[in-house]
Structure 1
Amino acid sequence: MFRSVAFAALAAGLLATSACAPITTYSGFQAIDASPKEVKVGEDTKSTVRARLGSPSVVSTFEDDVWFYIAQVKEKIAFRKPVVVNREVVSIRFNEETEVVEAVNQYGLEDGKVIAYNDRETPTRGRELTILEQLLGNVGRGGMLPRDDETVPGSRPGDRR
């Protein structure tokens, strides 16, 4: 009897601790054969970088000569929001004419800035209607039924419905 109770308690304890184990997700650039940090300034070109690392995660919006390779790791415990544990951003700048690497910069999670943004909808001018105003908005206006002197779209002259 005592062994079965102890076994049940041990199984419940193991189950409870396994439920609290973090779920780790990896997203972005995954370095398999080569790392973006191994790119050599003055030696590598766009074609050699693309052959070694593949397509970049992002190309700069304003300059086509800046490539970014981005990777991040998130952990989620139970029902909580995911937390970014690690982020690596490597930017590679190329010369416009020769397409040779000019600079390789590496940024981490500590280099980022938290930006406060409004994740709701863009506010518009005007008045918002309540549910009752929407449902009862046309009551009393007389616009629900057609009048006899008006022609209703889809009806023939002299047709009475």
Structure 2
Amino acid sequence: MFRRVAFAALTVGLLTTSACAPMTTYSGFQAIDASPKDVKVGEDTKSTVRGSLGSPSATSTFEDDVWFYIAQVKERVAFRRAQVVNREVVSITFNPETEVVEKVDHYTLEDGKVIAYNDRETPTRGRELTVLEQLLGNVGRGGMLPRDDEGVPGTRPGDR
């Protein structure tokens, strides 16, 4: 009897603790054979970087000579919101004329900044209709009643 109770308690305990294990999600650039940290300034070119690392995650909006390799790890426990636990951004700047690597910058989660978005909305002209006004808006407009279309261009006499 004691063994059954102990086994049931152990099973319940294991199920309870396994439900709280975090689910880890990896997204972005995943370094397999080479790492962006291995890029050498003054030696590597755009073609060698693309050959070893592949296409960048993103390029600069204003300059085509800056490539970004971005990777992040998120963890989610049970029903809670996912938290970013690790983020790495490697910025590689190339010389526009020679396409040789000029600068390699490494950024982590600590280098990021939280931006407060402005959630205000621009008001539009007019007025907002209530649900009742939307439902009863066409009542009395005569959509179902026969119309007197005599003399209107595009109608023929006797087409009813």
Q: Could you state the TM-score of these two structures normalised by the residue count of structure 2? A: 0.89
1:69 maps onto 2:52 in alignment: no
1:141 maps onto 2:127 in alignment: no
Amino acid in the other structure paired with 2:124: R
Distance 1:118 1:148, change over 3 A: same
Q: Deviations over 1:41-81 (max 9, x none)?
A: 11111001001111000011110000000000000000111
Amino acid in the other structure paired with 2:75: E
* Structure 2 gap ranges (5+): none
1:59 maps onto 2:73 in alignment: no
Count residues in correspondence.
Answer: 159
1:11 is matched with 11
Distance 1:58 1:152, change over 3 A: farther
RMSD, aligned CA? 2.3
The structural deviation recorded for 1:99 is: 0.4
* Structure 1 gap ranges (5+): none
1:49 maps onto 2:49 in alignment: yes
2:102 is matched with 102
SS of 2:9's equivalent in the other structure is helix
Distance 1:144 1:128, change over 3 A: farther
Distance 1:131 1:118, change over 3 A: farther
Distance 1:17 1:142, change over 3 A: same
Taking only the aligned residue pairs, the percentage that are identical comes to: 82
Please give the residue correspondences for 1:93-132 in structure 2 after superposition, counting only pairs within 5 Å: 93-117=93-117, 123-126=122-125, 127-132=127-132
The structural deviation recorded for 1:124 is: 4.7
Distance 1:152 1:90, change over 3 A: farther
2:79 is matched with 79
Please identify runs of 4+ aligned residues in structure 1 that moved more than 6 A. 151-155
Amino acid in the other structure paired with 2:23: I
Distance 1:5 1:146, change over 3 A: same
8 Å Cα contact 2:20/2:78 also seen in 1: yes
SS of 1:44's equivalent in the other structure is coil
Amino acid in the other structure paired with 2:7: F
The structural deviation recorded for 1:158 is: 1.2
